[in-house]
Amino acid sequence: MRILLADDHAVVRQGYASLLAAMLEECEIIEASCGWESLSLWQQHQPDALVLDINLPDISGIETAKRILQRDSGARILFFSMYDELPMVQQALDVGALGYITKCSSPEVLLEAVRKVLAGQPYVEHDLATRLAMQRNSGMDPRLEGMTQREFEIFVMLARGLTPKLIAEQLCISVKTVSNHSTLLKNKLQVSSTAELVHLAIQCGLLKLGNTLTG
C-alpha cells in the first residue's frame, strides 16, 4: 500500500509520514513538498491515496486535487489542513475529495480518516460535518450564491492577502485574468476595495481575525 503525503513544511510532513508508517501495516509513505511534485509523484507511483494540504507554495491543494482527479477520477484524496472555515471545506469536497480533516485532529482521527478514504468511503471530521449540515439547513450566504469555482478560489486568495502574481502562479492563469476576475468579483459582491472584500470574507466565515497564510 502506498500513500502520497503532500505538505510544504518538511518537519510537519516528516512527522506525519512517520506517524502513518507506524500506524498502518505494510504502508509506504511518499512525500511531496508542493503541488507540482504531487502531480509528478502521483503519475509515477499511482498511490492508493493522497493526504493533501491546501496551502502549497506553487499551486494550491485544491488545484492539485482538481488536476489529479481530471486524470484519475478514482483518485482517493483526503485534505488535511489547518483551515476549518466551512466554505473552504465545502470547496475541497466539491472538487471531488473523499475527506477533510484539520491538523488539530488527533492521530486516531487521522488514522480513521485515512482508512476510510483508502476504502473509498467519505470521511469528514465530526465537528466540520455537523457544521456543514447546519449550514445546509440554514442556507448559504446569498452573497456567495452564483459564484463560479474559479471566482471563489480567487476571492479566497485575495482575501487572504495573496498578490495577483502569486494567485496567477498557483492557479496557472495569467495575471491579467486574475485582475479581470478581481474587478468582476468586486462588482458582483458590491465592494469597492480589497479591505471591504476581506471584511466580507470574514462575515461569510471564510476568514478568521488573525488568519494567516499557513495551511
Whether 212 is covered by a domain: the verdict is no
| Three-state secondary structure call for residue 21 | helix
User: Does any domain span residue 208?
Assistant: no
Out of 138, 161, 190, a domain closes at: 138
> What is the model's pTM?
0.69
**Distances 120 to 24, 54, 112 between C-alpha atoms, Å:** 16, 21, 12
CATH code, domain with 40: 3.40.50.2300
Which amino acid makes up residue 214?
A: T
Mean pLDDT along residues 9-34: 92
> What pLDDT is attached to residue 37?
96
Q: What is the pLDDT of residues 120-143, one digit of tens each?
A: 999 998 888 877 776 665 555 666
Mean pLDDT (whole number) for 198-210: 70
Structural domain of residue 132, as residue ranges? Answer: 2-138
pLDDT for the residue numbered 184? 86
CA angle 191, 158, 122 (to 5 degrees): 110
| pLDDT for position 47 | 96
Name beta bridge partners: 49. Answer: 3
Q: Are residues 35 and 130 in the same domain?
A: yes
**Domain total of the chain:** 2
The residues, ordered by sequence, that sit 6+ positions from 27 with a Cβ below 8 Å of its Cβ are: 1, 2, 3, 20, 21
> What gap in Å lies between CA 129 and CA 81, rounded to an integer?
15
Q: For 167-184, how does the pLDDT look when each residue is reduced to its tens digit (9 = 90+)?
A: 888 787 889 998 888 888
The CA angle 170-186-180, to the nearest 5 degrees, is 50
Residue 211, domain member (yes or no): no
**82 and 118, same domain (yes or no):** yes
Do 30 and 109 reside in the same domain of the chain? Answer: yes
Whether residue 61 is found in the same domain as residue 110: yes
Backbone phi, psi, residue 78, to 5°: -120, 120
What is the rounded average pLDDT of the residues 109-122? Answer: 93
Length of the chain in terms of residues written: 215
| Residues 195, 107 share a domain | no
112 in the same domain as 6:
yes
User: How confident is the model over 142-163, as pLDDT tens digits?
Assistant: 666 667 767 877 887 888 788 8
Query: What single string gives the DSSP state of each residue in 189-207?
Result: HT--SHHHHHHHHHHTTS-
